[in-house]
Amino acid sequence: MSKKISKSPSEQLCDAIVEGMQENKANEIVVLDLRELDGAVSEFFVICSGDSDTHVDGISNSITRFVRKTMKEKPWNIEGKTNSDWILLDYVNVVGHVFYKDKRSFYDIEELWSDATRKDIPN
C-alpha cells in the first residue's frame, strides 16, 4: 500500500499561484523553494513574465482571483500595481512576482536566489 504525501499549506498556495499564472498565459514560470536557505524572507517565490504592462496586470489579477476562489486567501500586500513593471503579491509564506519581461532580466531574482531549489513549470 502506498502512502500519499500531503502538501503543506504553503505548497498548496504555491500551486494555486502557478495555476492563476497559467490561467492568464504567463511566460517562463519558475518556482524557487527557499525553505532550506538561511535568511530567506519566504518559503517560496513564484516568478513569471508578461509581454506587456496590460498582460502583467492581467496575470496579477488572475492570481488574486484564482487564489481567493480556491484557497480563500487574499494577499497580505500588493506592490507595483501603479506601473505594472513588477507586481509583487505577498501571501507571506509564498510571494508571487509578475514581471514585464525586460524588468525580469534586469532584477534577475533567479540568480539572486540561485541557492534555492528551482522548478521550471512548462507552458
Ordered strands of the 44-50 beta sheet: 77-79, 86-90, 94-100, 44-50, 27-33, 117-121
- Tell me the pTM: 0.92
- Which helix (H) or strand (E) element contains residue 27? strand 27-33
CA distance 110 to 106: 11
Cα distance from N-terminal residue to C-terminal residue, the chain: 34
pLDDT at 5: 74
CA distance 86 to 102: 10
Instruction: Give the pLDDT confidence of 92-106 residue by residue, as tens digits.
Output: 999 999 999 889 999
For domain 9-109, say whether CATH 3.20.20.70 is its number.
no
Could you read off the pLDDT tens digit of each residue along the chain, which spans 123 residues?
556 678 899 999 999 999 999 999 999 999 999 999 988 899 999 999 999 999 999 999 999 999 999 999 999 999 999 888 999 999 999 999 999 988 999 999 999 999 999 999 987
